[in-house]
Chains A and B, each alone.
Chain A
Amino acid sequence: MTTPTQPAPTTAARAPLMTVADLRKHFPIKRNLLGRTLSAVQAVDDISFQVIKGETLGIVGESGCGKSTTARLLMRLIEPDAGVVTFDGNTVGGAHGVGVRDLYRDVQMVFQDSYASLNPRMPISMSIAYGPLSQGMNRKAAMAVAVKLLEQVGLNPVLYANRYPHELSGGQKQRVNIARALALRPRLVILDEAVSALDKSIEAQILNLLIDLKQEYDLTYVFISHDLNVIRFISDRVMVMYLGHIVEVGRVEDIYARPEHPYTKALLAAMPSMDPRKRTETAPITGDPPNPIDPPPGCRFRTRCPHAAQICEDRTPSLNDGAATGEGHLVACHMRDRRSGHPEARSSGASQ
């Protein structure tokens, strides 16, 4: 019943498959007559991170944190305002970079089981075969790929090949979504809330499937979710986002056992207890996640942070300021930067 999955890869000497530097995307809301932006949703604001080959990088955050926008930026479904993304060492986009058509042979996305993640007017086998078809395969070969993938995701092709999405349950549709993403044999798969809309028992089935497929096809995953339990279960490293910024990143054990950022701590403490005898007595944080339209200057979390000080308003903390605690564990918080001038500043690792 409990066979261990493949041990998590260490980050030592593993090349990054994808690097992201200073990625930014603002969505303008109001423009003046000359076209200058007066007010914008700062969805993703100068974030930088890496995806290591073979790992599962979990991105977690609440609404408005920018994780879905990040996924769409990585997939080039939206064009970034600034920043450089490289895949396997090659720059993506731009004048001399890798074009999207080539990018999609290596990077694919599994969408959430939303209202229409699959074309309602197309049988699911065609939805899966469309990718290979668009990349030049002939119809018969593309169908063969689709049939094989249906098997692999646990849907009997004899029964399901000619079905339409409305004839499938949520879990079955997600299997098709996964099959569609794998049709082009990508190396990196971005999963944007891929299990969020599913019942718990179905979610478990799909997670098992994802782990199996990752092993079988030697994939790298970027797994985006708001569900802290799922992230903890499936990720090797975790990145916590808040209002368009990365506030903490590190190995999953470090993040969950020794969270450093006040937001991460609040997030973890807010998870409902599974034990009715040990209920939560006080809310770890008050208020709602603020509006990503015209966020406050400085640290974006300071309006809800119990440790906020003047420095937090004056300067936005960056991930690289503080010393890392564990291996690759970075925090964007003035309290962890000895030189910041924050009254509670000390280097990480010191006992609380």
Chain B
Amino acid sequence: MADQVSAREAIEGPIPTLDPAEALARAREGKGYWKRVWESLKDDKVTIVVAIVLLLIFLAAIFAPLIATHDPSKGSIIGRLKGFGYKDHLLGTDETGRDMFSRLVFGARLSLISGVLPVIFALLIGGSLGIAAGYLRGRVNTVIMRSMDVLYAFPSILLAIAICGILGSGLENTLLALTITFIPPIVRVSETVTVQVRSLDFVDAARTSGASSASIMCRHVLNNVLGQILVYTTSLVSLSIILAAGLSFLGLGVTPPDAEWGLMLNNLRQAIWVNPTIAALPGVAIFITSMSFNLLSDGLRQAMDIRL
């Protein structure tokens, strides 16, 4: 607090007035919580490395058509399960002769979509439900939480499989199934954190301003629970990628000839005896991506542990 005037001056000197517009502007530039989280993240080496890795994967997925060396769906009967560097196939070919590198890069698109989108949707829906249940309590809480309990009774994989089984395979159904699977845990975490925050005095003080519940939830509660909910949610992304891959593996997710890591893993199962390195490649891709999201989530949690 280097700019604090000496105590004597502060008490005895005249207090200069501040233009309200300037006060508003200053209020926004103060060293807020999120700024400090950001700064803490920037200092964390592991998080930076992981963030770069993820960025590369995202870019590869976006620019897949430009990066891919071959047509991912074009196979070749003679060039099957060849090793690295065969002709100009960087990472070899799969069981129908398609280029592994190109398929991995295109597969990144579907895998990332299946990983990230369901979590985002689940966060929006589940987060709102959880915060509402935690803040409004009473009947609203009972209805929401008990409904979630019903869904919670199913292990996540079984739930996803069941939903896909009913709806059929395909990308949209996978996304829907995964979103539904993730809503209950997010609701539960959000509700728990909201209940803790709600008991703090400043929420009571906000209530005494006559504000509506919606306003209090958005302006006071949200900012204080978002951190913890985000940390939990980012850890779900890796699970989502694995679940999506699992669903494809079982034939319930993406269908051939689309490239998707889980599907590729399934198709290459027999190839373990012939060329184990190639067969493992999609698994490696899944591993790297999941791990990176996990580490990112850890980094976020550490950065948010800043003592106030």
Contacts and interface: CB of A to CB of B under 8 A. Distances in A.
A117 B1 contact: no
Contacts of B30: 123, 162-164
Contacts of A180: 205
A100 B200 contact: no
Nearest to B1: A167
A141 B20 CA distance: 8
Contacts of B153: none
A162 B223 contact: no
B207 interface: yes
B205 A140 contact: no
Interface stretch (A126-134, A247-255, A277-285): A126-134
Interface residues of B, number: 40
A120 B204 contact: no
B37 to A, nearest CB: 11
Contact of B3 (A119, A135, A141, A159): A159
Interface string B192-221: 000000001110111111111001000110
Given A75-B208, A111-B201, A162 B20 contact: no
A51 to B, nearest CB: 17
Which has the most chain B C-beta neighbours within 10 Å: A139, A143, A177? Answer: A143
Interface in B62-117: none
Contacts of B205: 109, 111, 117-118, 127, 177, 180
- Chain A interface size band reads 35 or more
Interface stretch (B21-29, B126-134, B267-275): B21-29
A157 interface: yes
A151 interface: yes
A162 B29 contact: yes
Contacts of B15: 151, 156-157
A116 interface: yes
Contacts of A140: 20-21, 24
19 contacts: A75-B208, A109-B208, A111-B205, A114-B201, A115-B200, A117-B202, A119-B223, A120-B33, A123-B30, A125-B24, A125-B26, A131-B208, A143-B21, A143-B27, A147-B20, A154-B11, A162-B30, A164-B33, A184-B210
